[in-house]
Amino acid sequence: MSNANREAPPSAGRAGIKRELPEHFRDYRHVWVFIELERGEVHPVSFELLGEGRKLADKLGIQLAGIVLGPPGEATQHAIAEAFAYGADLVYLVEAPLLADYRNEPFTKAMTDLVNTHKPEILLLGATTLGRDLAGSVATTLLTGLTADCTELDVVDGSLAATRPTFGGSLLCTIYTLNYRPQMATVRPRVMAMPPRTDKPVGRVIRHKLSMTEEEIITKVLGFNLDRQSAKANLAYADIVVAGGLGLGSAENLQLVKNLARAIGAEYGCSRPLVQKGWMPADRQVGQTGKTIRPKLYIAAGISGAIQHRVGVEGADLIVAINTDPNAPIFDFAHLGIVTDAIRFLPALTEAFTRRLSPHSHDKLAS
Amino acid sequence: MHIVICIKQVPDSAQIRVHPVTNTIMRQGVPTIINPYDLFALEEALRLRDAHGGEVTVLTMGPPMAEDALRKALTYGADRAVLLTDRCFAGSDTLATSFALSRAIVRIGETFGAPDIVFAGKQTIDGDTAQVGPGIAKRLGLLQFTYVAKIDSIDVDAREITVKRRSEGGTQMLKSRLPCLVTMLEGTNEIRRGSLDDAMRAARSQIVKWSAAEAGIDDLNKCGLRGSPTVVKRVFAPTTRAEKATQIDMTDKTQHDLADELIASIFTRQPALEHELAFDGGQ
């Protein structure tokens, strides 16, 4: 295997001693962000990562590159242009028809070949179904460190300091990959803020050939079923989110959350215990282990506010908490609180919003 | 067919507490469970065995007490359990874990027959990385299907498999070849109640216990802390925000008064919202 020479010498196993970077990793430079292009669209997490990557690159005094893997055509060209618009200094491009649909084999091959040829210091990917599938394979092929679901990225003593929740979100830990390269990390959508977009001309694009043919790829794509619109909970990117927790007492009472959400044009969700009880599907779960959200307004009804929930909602501009327990941890990070029973309060709030927003919407609600 | 499923024993996260002063996890008295995501993979493995014949081997790496999780898996109907346990694995990150597990799977193959499918859960509830499954696949050179919602068909003789795999905006249908590694999405099935026979068999069963050497692992530089490229330097509790939530005063107010007051507070803090809601709301 071509990776035999990548192995670092055995280390002492203590963080303090693992500081010396082996000679063959010293020319690894620049921050790379994987631009996730799937079915013609760039996942917005890629732009959020470019925002973070920019800060890391500036701190290290190195360049920020976008990595675009895609089929020839407009969508790939658009992805390249967007990478520059969100701050990339250059783009590495692998363009091949067999990259039209995501498959682990060709994407892992394309990414690892790029890394071995152009040697990045840091490689960031979105923690999406695609990004996590790819990141694990790439890190194992390269035999380097990968830190999943980071909530904060920084540079400390020239190394990537990747902070993530641990123990189910009860604590945070900071993880380093000291003597392997690249230092890899994934970040969930919406954890990092969206950087501003500025129209810029397309800069330097470095092309790389994919040394793989369709015949060499065992897995074939038979088809793709788009989610039905109704099932497409766009929770992560919603402007307003209403979520319910165990305080609602029963699965039936989740209707109160849905009613409020509908009245104010919000997405609805729930806390983790409700998914575990089977009251709501997993794609509606709000929190570190579900969807991280950054809405303008977040209303949490009957949610106590465990740390893993908090980590997933802290980016909201305004957090309103409704809970019967005045000592519930959610009041430690909410901006506005009401100590009352959500089951009684939600209908009143729905009605008050409806009244205030439009005198005519009563008819709509009844229909 | 021979199916290997990798599970992990994890602390029941609902009962984890953090020590308020030392910021360490208080593990004492916290019950352990099989990682809940693994149960979907286990059930899928059992269903495939029931439909196609063969055996299910459960594998875990962990301290000696992880035997409890394996015994539990046997009560659901797994045929055999292997515990990979050795002090040299302590401190393994995902790369070192996938190395050890992949070598144990090779040894399982040599001892009990090569697996047609290796299963894993989507991720664990304590680490949440979702990296070990893909890591094992890569190390064993297996084709990899993560976030599988459904295994549509398996043809053991033709060595073919078709799966539905969750992707961001929909479901991908893939056709591929055995052997492969599959991580199952949650909610795709429901773990069976084990039969009484299985419970009795589980209690009597001899669990296969392998040290690193017994699993054929001789390169200890790839194990545990030494084999882990990542280094955890700091564990800490999140800082609390200086100010607590502003509480809406409840005194002598009806739920309707409270609702009006809350809405007024929301719009005072986020004036732009009122305008946006008036146009977008009530759809």
Taking residues A75-81, report their average pLDDT.
97
A39 vs B: CB within 8 A: yes
> What average pLDDT does range A341-361 have in this prediction?
87
The confidence score (pLDDT) of residue B16 equals 66
Q: Identify the residue among A144, A181, A336, A367 best suited for mutation to test binding to B, counting B beta carbons within 10 A and taking the highest.
A: A336
Distances B152 to A222, B2, B174 between C-alpha atoms, Å: 12, 18, 10
Query: Which one-letter amino acid corresponds to residue A168?
Result: G
The chain A residue lying nearest B242, using CA atoms, is: A332
Q: What are phi and psi of A183, to 5 degrees?
A: -85, 115
Q: For chain A, which domains are there?
A: 21-216 (3.40.50.620), 229-366 (3.40.50.1220)
Q: Classify residue A126 as exposed, middle or buried by CB count within 10 Å of its CB (0-12, 13-18, 19+).
A: buried
pLDDT digits (tens, 9 = 90+) for A331-340: 999 999 999 9
For chain B, the distance separating the N- and C-terminal CA atoms, rounded to the nearest angstrom, is 53
Which tens digit of pLDDT belongs to each residue from A139-159?
999 999 999 999 999 999 999
Q: Which of B18, B95, B164 sits opposite A170 (nearest CB)?
A: B18
Does A218 sit within 8 Å of B231, measured CB to CB?
no
What pLDDT does B240 receive?
67
Q: What is the pLDDT of residues A235-272, one digit of tens each?
A: 888 999 999 999 999 999 999 999 999 999 999 999 99
pLDDT score at B123: 92
Residue among A181, A307, A357, A363 with most chain B CBs within 10 A, to mutate: A357
Looking at the partner chain, which of B232, B245, B256 has a beta carbon nearest the beta carbon of A352? B256
Question: How many Å lie between the alpha carbon of B166 and the closest alpha carbon of chain A?
Answer: 7
- Measured CA to CA in angstroms, residue A301 lies from A46, A209, A254, A319, B181 at distances of 32, 53, 10, 11, 40
- Candidates A290, A232, A109, A39; CA nearest to B172 is A39
DSSP A144: -
What's the gap in Å between the CA of A43 and the closest CA on chain B? 9
Of the pLDDT bands very low, low, confident and very high (cuts 50, 70, 90), residue A19 is low
Tens-digit pLDDT string for chain B (283 aa): 999 999 999 988 666 666 666 666 666 778 899 999 999 999 999 999 999 999 999 999 999 999 999 999 999 999 999 999 999 999 999 999 999 999 999 999 999 999 999 999 999 988 889 999 999 999 999 999 999 999 999 999 999 999 999 998 899 999 999 999 999 998 889 999 999 999 999 999 999 999 999 999 999 999 999 999 999 988 887 776 667 888 988 888 899 999 999 999 999 998 888 888 876 544 4
> Is the dihedral angle over the CA atoms B19, B23, B28, B34 positive or is it negative?
positive
Angle of helix A254-263 relative to helix A342-357, nearest 10 degrees, comes to 10
A245-271 exposure pattern, b = at least 16 Cβ within 10 A, e = fewer: bebbeeeebbebbbbbbbbbbbbbbbb
Q: What CATH number does the domain located at B2-227 have? A: 3.40.50.620
Q: What is the pLDDT of residue B22?
A: 65
Interchain CB contact of A213 with B (< 8 Å):
no
**Which of B186, B228, B281 is opposite residue A265, by nearest beta carbon?**
B281
Q: With b meaning 16 or more CB within 10 Å and e meaning fewer, what string describes B209-218?
A: bbebeebebe
Choose the closest CB to A145 out of B166, B229, B254. Answer: B229
Among A residues 216-245, those touching chain B with beta carbons less than 8 Å apart: 218-227, 232, 239-240
With the C-alpha atoms ordered B221, B222, B225, B229, is the resulting torsion angle positive or negative? Answer: positive
The answer to whether the Cβ–Cβ distance between B234 and A174 falls below 8 Å is: yes
Chain-chain contact of B172 with A135 (C-beta, under 8 angstroms): no
CA dihedral sign of residues B129, B130, B132, B135:
negative
In this predicted structure, what is the pLDDT of residue B18? 67
Residues contacting residue A328 through CB under 8 Å, at least 6 positions apart: A304, A305, A321
**A225, A267, A303, A338: best to mutate for the B interface, most B CBs within 10 A:** A338
Q: pLDDT tens digits, residue range A287-306?
A: 877 899 999 999 999 999 98
Q: Tokens at residue B208, please?
A: 């296969």
B205 phi/psi in degrees, rounded to 5: -60, 145
Q: Please, what is the Cα angle at B84 between B78 and B87, to 5 degrees?
A: 155
**Residue B147, min C-alpha distance to chain A (Å):** 7
Comparing A310 with A69, the larger pLDDT belongs to A69
Nearest Cα to Cα of residue A46 among A135, A126, A108: A126
Q: How confident is the model at residue A367 (pLDDT cuts 50, 70, 90)?
A: very low
**A315-A54-B129 Cα angle (round to 5):** 55
- Whether A9 shows a pLDDT value over 60: the answer reads no
Distance in angstroms (rounded) separating the CA atoms of residues A199 and A181: 32
How far away is chain B from the Cα of A356, in angstroms, using its nearest Cα?
Answer: 9
* Stretch A161-178: mean pLDDT: 86
- Residue A20: predicted pLDDT: 76
Determine contact: A17 vs chain B, CB below 8 A. no
Average pLDDT over residues A73-95: 98
Asked if A222 and B173 come within 8 Å (Cβ–Cβ), the reply is: yes
- Total count of residues recorded for chain A: 367
pLDDT range class, residue A166, cuts 50, 70, 90: confident
CA A289 to chain B, closest CA, distance in angstroms equals 8
**Closest B-chain CA to A319:** B245
**Contact call for B245 and A336, based on CB within 8 A:** yes
User: Looking at residue A363, what is its pLDDT?
Assistant: 46
Q: How far apart are CA A174 and CA A163, in angstroms?
A: 4
* Shortest alpha-carbon distance between residue B225 and chain A (Å): 5
- Which helix (H) or strand (E) segment holds residue A330: the answer is helix A330-333
Smallest CA-to-CA distance from A50 within A124, A157, A144, A139 is with: A124
